[in-house]
Amino acid sequence: MKTITTDFEYLPATTLEEALELLSQHKDDEYRIIAGGQSLNTAMKHRLIAPEYIIDIKGLSDLDYIKFDAKRGLKIGALATHRSLEKSPIVREKYSVLCEMEENVASVETRNWGTVVGDLCNADPAVDPAAPLIALDAKLKVASKGKERIVPAEEFAVGFFETTVQPGEMATEIQIPVLPPNTGVYFTKYSQIHGDYALGSVAVLITLDKKKETCANARIGMSGVASTPIRAKKAEGVLKGKKITDEVLAAAAKVASEETSPISGIEASAEYKRELAGTLLKRVAKVALERAKKA
């Protein structure tokens, strides 16, 4: 049996270049990046992982930002915490769904330390920010020494606690486009205890046509109902081009449930989670629709 040791070498970085250089010098299975440490410390404490090197990016103050530009939209740096997103006045004004989502992530203590990007990189299938980011058509910037690539939010997680981030790479930024006119977005999660990971969560973006009668565009993100957060493209197709009635919502909910692939756990069965996804979709889409009418 492999002995799990808690010894590691601590390698702090203060600039992105330094961090990328350190990443390039070590093998993926030897090191772990630490940002706020909220998930990493827990995994190490439980002896689930035992990295030889810890590359600390908390000192990369240049990546601790939330910026909005009327043309380019919102940018969230890798060191921005859940709490700073929750409390950001510009995010509340332009993307209130993100503040609403954050109010339900873990506890204030965890939100004060934990970064939004770190949460996505930890890749728990029920990670909260993923669903609204998918609905908002967000992308993540992933950097390595001398290179950068952009990944759509729905492609960032590739498996259970696994992301597209490769050896030598780190995620540096979330990018969210400006919302088109007549757009409403809403998110909700269902968990047994407030602040716990969700049994299921759904985010819906609806853009209405100029007359505000039919759905010109829809995007649906879901978490907790598959091995990764997912985009419910078929359910989006049910909403697009239609006047959104209760019947249309019921049809979209059925299709969205079918797009999930949950597993049974001690807290709920797969059937329950599948049903939950459809139920949440109906509720969330109704609020998104009302918001789109008022936008």
Ligand X SMILES: Cc1cc2nc3c(=O)[nH]c(=O)nc-3n(C[C@H](O)[C@H](O)[C@H](O)COP(=O)(O)OP(=O)(O)OC[C@H]3O[C@@H](n4cnc5c(N)ncnc54)[C@H](O)[C@@H]3O)c2cc1C
The DSSP letter of residue 266 is S
255 near 277, Cβ under 8 Å? Answer: no
Residues 171, 206, 232, 289: which binds ligand X (CB under 6 A)?
Answer: 171
Site string for ligand X, 181-220 (x = CB under 6 A): --------------xxx-----------------------
Reduced DSSP (H G I as helix, E B as strand, rest coil) percent helix, strand, coil of the chain, to 5: 35, 25, 40
Give me the torsion for CA of 257, 132, 263, 282, rounded to 10°: -30
Residue number, 182 or 201, with CB nearest to ligand X? 201
What are the phi and psi torsion angles at 75 (to 5°)? -125, 130
- When asked if residue 64 is in the footprint of ligand X (CB under 6 A), the reply is no
Residues 42, 61, 166, 192: which binds ligand X (CB under 6 A)?
Answer: 42
Residues 215-274 that bind ligand X (CB under 6 A): none
Alpha carbon 235 to its chain's center: 20
Please work out the total of residues on this chain that contact ligand X, with binding judged by CB under 6 A.
Answer: 31
Residue number, 163 or 182, with CB nearest to ligand X? 163
Tokens 């093998």 belong to residue: 27
Residues 20, 66, 102, 122: which binds ligand X (CB under 6 A)?
Answer: 122
- When asked if residue 36 is in the footprint of ligand X (CB under 6 A), the reply is yes
**Stretch of residues binding ligand X (CB under 6 A), selected from 9-17, 83-91, 163-171, 270-278:** 163-171
CB atoms within 10 A of CB 37: 16
| Three-class DSSP category at 74 | strand
Nearest residue to ligand X, by Cβ distance, number only: 118
Q: Amino acid letter at 201? A: S
Cβ 175 to ligand X shortest distance, Å = 14
Residue number, 127 or 268, with CB nearest to ligand X? 127
Q: Amino acid letter at 29? A: D
Residue number, 66 or 253, with CB nearest to ligand X? 66
- As a whole number of angstroms, the distance between CA 249 and CA 238 comes to 8
- When asked if residue 119 is in the footprint of ligand X (CB under 6 A), the reply is yes
284 Cβ neighbours under 8 A, 6+ residues apart: 186, 187, 188, 202, 203, 204
- When asked if residue 34 is in the footprint of ligand X (CB under 6 A), the reply is yes
- The token pair at 144 is 């390595």
* Contact positions vs ligand X (CB under 6 A): 32-40, 42, 78, 82, 105-106, 110, 113-115, 117-119, 121-122, 127-128, 165, 170-171, 195-197
